[in-house]
Amino acid sequence: MTAQVKPSARVDVELGERSYPILIGNGLIAGAPQFLAETLPGTRFAIVADEAVRAYAEQLEAGLAGAGLLLGPTVYVPSGEASKSFASLERVTAALLDLGVERDHAVVALGGGVIGDLAGFAAATLKRGVRVVQVPTTLLAQVDSSVGGKTGIDTQHGKNLVGAFHQPSLVLIDLDTLKTLPPREFRAGYAEVAKYGALGDSVFFRWLEDNAAAIFELDTYPLTDAVETSVRMKAEIVSRDEKEAGDRALLNLGHTFGHAVEAWAGYSGDVLHGEAVALGMVLAARFSEAEGFCAHTVSRRLEDHLAEVGFATTFSELRQRLGRAPTLDELTGFMEQDKKVKDGKMNLVLLSGIGNAFVAKDVARDKIRAFLAAELER
C-alpha cells in the first residue's frame, strides 16, 4: 500500500446517508489508494481521465493496481468542452461496460470539470447508478464542479441541459496538479473563487483583492486558504439545498449571462467557462446597478478586480480578443434556454452588494434585452 499521505484540510458535505468528505492538500493522488480503501472498503475502481492529465492518470492507475483496487486500463477522453456530448457519453459508458463495471464498483473522474461532469453522468446512469469519486485537477473543478453532485452534458440548445444529480462518495483535491495547469486555465478557475466572495462573503472578497497575486503565484498558504474557503462555502450551501430549490441557486451568479456567451462561442475553447462567468458576473452587477439594487461602486469593484487578474469584462474587450462578439438575438436566445428559466420567465442572480446575492424572479425580458443591447455597444 502507498505510504501514508495526510490532507491539509477536510470539508464534509452533510447529506445524511449520502454525506461525503472533501480532502484538500498536496500529494493526494499518490495517497489515493489509501483514501479510496478507507472510504469505500472492498471496492474496485475504473478511471476516466482527461488526455491532458495522462501523467496523473498513470500515477493513479499504478497506485490502484499495486493495491489491487483497479478494474482495468484508464478510459481517456479528449480535452475540451466538446467532449461533454452524447457521443462521448456513449463511448465512455461502453468502455466502462467493457471493463466489467458492476454496481458495487466505482468510477474515478480524473480531470477538470468536463471529465467530472461526463464521468459523473456516466456513473449516474450506468447500471442505474454506480458510485463516483471526483479527483479534480483544475482550479475551477476543485472549487466548483467537483462538489455538489451536478453531472451532465451539453447539447446544441445550451450547456448542462441533460444530466443528473449524483453525489460523489469522495472528492480528492490535490493542489499539486495546479502546478502543471496552463495559466489561462488557472485564471478561468479563479473566476469561481471570486464568485464565492461576491455572492456571500465580503471579507473573503477583500482578502482576495489583497492576495490574488500570491494565489496566482501558487503560494501554498494563500492558495490552500482560497480553495478551502471556496469549497467550504459550496459544501455548506449544498448541504442546505442539494437540488437547487433555494440557496444553491445563488451559486449561479454570472452563469445565466456566462452560459449564453459560452453557447455562442460553441464550446470551442475560444471562451472558457470561467472567462464567461467572469464577464457574466460583471454583467449581473451592472444589471443590478441599472435596476437600482446596488451602488455603482459594487460593479466597479468587481470589474476592477476581475480585470486586474486578466479577464475581459466588456463585450468590446471580447471582440478585441476574438475578432467577434455575439449579437443581441444570439445572447437572449441562449439565455432563454437556460435551466434557470421557469414557466418561460427569467430568473437572475443579482447583487445588492459585494457578499450579498439574491435571486430576482420574473425579470422582464424587455429589460434584459435593453440592458444587453446597451452593453454590446459599450
Tens digits of residue pLDDT in 283-331? 999 999 999 999 999 999 999 999 999 999 999 999 999 999 999 999 9
Cell (9 digits) for 125: 446512469
DSSP secondary-structure letter at 30? T
CB burial class (10 A; 0-12, 13-18, 19+) of residue 344? exposed
CB neighbours (10 Å) of residue 285?
29
Q: Please name the amino acid found at residue 253.
A: L
Which CB contacts under 8 angstroms, 24+ apart, belong to 214-218? Answer: 215/190, 216/186, 216/187, 216/190, 216/309, 218/178, 218/179
For residues 65 and 91, the answer to whether their CB atoms sit within 8 Å is: no
Angstrom distance (rounded) from CA 378 to CA 372: 10
Low-confidence ranges of the chain (pLDDT < 70): 1-3, 339-344
Catalytic residues: 128, 150, 192, 234, 244, 248, 252, 255, 259, 273
Would you list which residues are annotated within the binding site for Zn(2+)?
192, 255, 273
Bridge partners of residue 47, in order along the sequence: 108
- Predicted confidence at residue 141, as pLDDT, reads 97
Nearest to 351 by CA among 302, 294, 313: 294
How deeply is 365 buried, as exposed, middle or buried, from its count of CB atoms within 10 A (0-12, 13-18, 19+)? middle
Q: Which CATH class is domain 183-376?
A: mainly alpha
**Which amino acid is located at 61 in the chain?**
E
Strands 45-50 and 150-155, bridge-based pairing: unpaired
Classify the phi-psi angles of 203: left when phi > 0, otherwise alpha if psi is within -120 to 50, otherwise beta: alpha
Q: To which residue does cell 435551466 refer?
A: 339
CA distance 60 to 44: 13
333-345 per-position pLDDT tens digit: 999 877 566 666 7
- Same CATH topology for 9-180 and 183-376: the answer is no
Read off the C-alpha cell for 237.
450551501
Q: How far is CA 26 from CA 7, 189, 221, in A?
A: 7, 18, 11
Residue 58 to residues 54, 70, 78, 326, 346, Cα–Cα distance (Å):
6, 12, 16, 41, 45
Q: Grid coordinates standing for 16?
A: 445524511
Q: Would you give the distance in Å from CA 325 to the centre of its chain?
A: 24
Backbone angles phi, psi at 302, to 5 degrees: -65, -45
Q: Which residue has the cell 469522495?
A: 170
Grid coordinates in use for 367? 429589460
Could you give the CA distance from residue 117 to residue 234 in angstroms, rounded to a whole number? 17
Determine the distance from the C-alpha atom of residue 121 to the mean position of all C-alpha atoms in its chain, rounded to a whole number: 14
> What is residue 217's DSSP assignment?
T
For residue 30 the three cell numbers come to: 499518490
Please tell me the distance from the alpha carbon of residue 130 to that of residue 105, in angstroms, as a whole number: 7
Cα 21 to Cα 169: distance, rounded to the nearest angstrom: 8
Q: Specify the 3-state DSSP secondary structure of 293.
A: coil
Neighbours of 297 (CB within 10 A): 11
Q: Model-level pTM? A: 0.93
Instruction: Return the pLDDT at 1.
Output: 43
Report the CATH number of the 9-180 domain: 3.40.50.1970
From the number of C-beta atoms within 10 Å of its C-beta (0-12, 13-18, 19+), residue 68 rates as exposed
Indicate the residue type of 82. A
Residues at the binding site for NAD(+) are 79-84, 113-117, 137-138, 150, 159, 177-180
List residues forming the annotated binding site.
79-84, 113-117, 137-138, 150, 159, 177-180, 192, 255, 273
Identify the pLDDT of residue 213.
Answer: 97
Q: What per-residue confidence (pLDDT) applies to 267?
A: 81
State the Cα angle at 89 between 86 and 90, rounded to 5°.
85
pLDDT at position 2: 44
Ranges of each domain in the chain = 9-180, 183-376
